[in-house]
Amino acid sequence: MFKKILIANRGEIALRVMAACREMGIATVGVYSEVDKSALHTRTADEAVFIGASEPAESYLNVERIIDAAKQTGAEAIHPGYGFLAENADFARACQDNGIVFIGPPAKVIRDFGNKTVARKMMVDGGVPVVPGMTESNLDAKRVAAHAEEIGYPVLVKAAAGGGGKGMRIVNAPSELAAALESAASEAKAAFGDGSVYLEKYITNPRHVEIQVLADTHGNIIHLFERECSIQRRHQKIIEETPSTAVNDELRQKMGEAAVQAAATAGYVNAGTVEFILDEDGCFYFLEANTRLQVEHPITEMITGIDLVRRQIEIAAGLPLDLKQEDVTARGHAIECRIYAEDPANDFFPSPGKIVCLKEPTGPGIRNDCGVYQGFTVPVEYDPILSKLVVHAENREAAIERMKKALADYVVIGIKTPTQFLADIIDSQPFREGNTLTSFIDTYFPSWEPTLPDKDLAALAFIADGMAGKRVADAVAEGPAEIPLPWQTLGHWRL
Ligand code: ADP
């Protein structure tokens, strides 16, 4: 087993990986940029190496500096987390060339899955169902129009190099096609440096259901069931749950087998996720594969009891999987809410800044994978995820109640977070009914305004003004106007 691992990432995911390392007796090396000198991951790592200026290109995306940091500290392996270099085939290759183990799949697999049209072709050849559409990009406009007619409108223009929902356009009629191709291509070019686009059938009223797989270097591949990730804003997930309300045992088995088939076809090694789109008739189609640890991996860990990061490290060290498919069982229901520094009442606009007060929820079945602390300034430079709030309970109903409680207990002051918005979704009738299509937010929450007075401020007043003995619920009901501002109550809250 490795003695030392470098984590080429920041925030909650860097801490998540460090936690697994610590349990395994592996020393950790953190890397940090200028703005992250006092970030939680920098402070938590056994040792930390400064890798450059705050702009990602100068630090967390800088292959050379990260490899140097590993060499300098004697780290034998690098865990890339998610985002940044996690799905960069050149980085995986650079690790290998420098005698460092990349904790993830081989560079070739990352490259193949990194391009949606290459991946689609590979999956078609491997007999995995894919969304009807093209397996090549950049054909001339006439041929693209002919394809669109063939698969039938509505169609979806997608960027071959796509990610994060960028470079995607729904096209409802032939007259809109040319403009959509052009704008998707230019967005893709700006975001990925590659303007290749292609067409897929637009599946109406779909769900996003993905399957977690684990594959070792000895040819063993298993799946760890599904995650339903249909609650999205701007094609980006914000609430995930498992099991999916749309997947029964038979479908689960079919999708699991398709995911294992996808992994086998690609020569997959390590933890990966095969994303499918599931239509109203229960037909599912390959969407893409993510060749890394997913943001939402904890919900799978909660229901299976399997530590995915530990498994990633063991697989990278060459150990065989000591789990067979039939050994993997699920218990209960898990839900994750992503807590970003953003304002749900203002189109999810990022809200970086100083966290004046932070009170994390705790209690039975509650896990908060958090990358920040009270007093930390959330930088503008990076993805503003603060934490992932995960609950596990005996069944979905109990998990919903547990999440409501956890969200209500979550206090973040100084920056905007969507805890109230998430609680409103979780508590809504359509969510409770499991009516979770990817259109959920547009349909049920097209514009959202906070209905409660500022819960966080009320809670802080309660914490600060303990002598008043006010219950949080009463303080919330009274509203912020009734509550002394924290700096009026206690001088030292003015950090
Ligand atoms: P990205 O790599 O940018 O995340 P994906 O291919 O994973 O792109 O798609 C992101 C989301 O966009 C999906 O979860 C789904 O909500 C929607 N989507 C993608 N392809 C289709 C499709 N063919 N039909 C309907 N919705 C789609």
CA of 179 to the centre of ligand 1 (A): 20
Q: Which two tokens stand for residue 158?
A: 């997608």
Dist CA 325 CA 417 (whole Å):
39
With a 6 A CB cut-off, is 241 part of the ligand 1 pocket? Answer: no
- Pocket test of ligand 1: the residue of 277, 291, 437, 441 to mutate, having most ligand atoms within 8 Å of its CB, is 277
Q: What is the pLDDT of residue 413?
A: 86
53 in Cβ contact with 37 (< 8 Å)? no
Evaluated on CA atoms 29, 31, 36, 41, the torsion sign reads negative
With a 6 A CB cut-off, is 163 part of the ligand 1 pocket? Answer: yes
Dist CA 103 CA 87 (whole Å):
11
With a 6 A CB cut-off, is 187 part of the ligand 1 pocket? Answer: no
With a 6 A CB cut-off, is 208 part of the ligand 1 pocket? Answer: yes
CA of 275 to the centre of ligand 1 (A): 9
Please name every residue paired with 199 in a beta bridge, in sequence order, or none if there are none. 157
Please name every residue paired with 349 in a beta bridge, in sequence order, or none if there are none. 343
**Ranges of the chain whose pLDDT falls below 50:** 467, 481-495
Q: What is the pLDDT of residue 453?
A: 65
Q: What is the pLDDT of residue 141?
A: 85
199 in Cβ contact with 156 (< 8 Å)? yes
361 in Cβ contact with 406 (< 8 Å)? yes
Q: Which two tokens stand for residue 164?
A: 């994060």
Q: Which two tokens stand for residue 279?
A: 């239509």
Please name every residue paired with 215 in a beta bridge, in sequence order, or none if there are none. 221, 270
Residue nearest atom 23 in ligand 1 by C-alpha distance: 202
Q: What is the pLDDT of residue 450?
A: 84
Does pTM top 0.85 for this prediction? yes
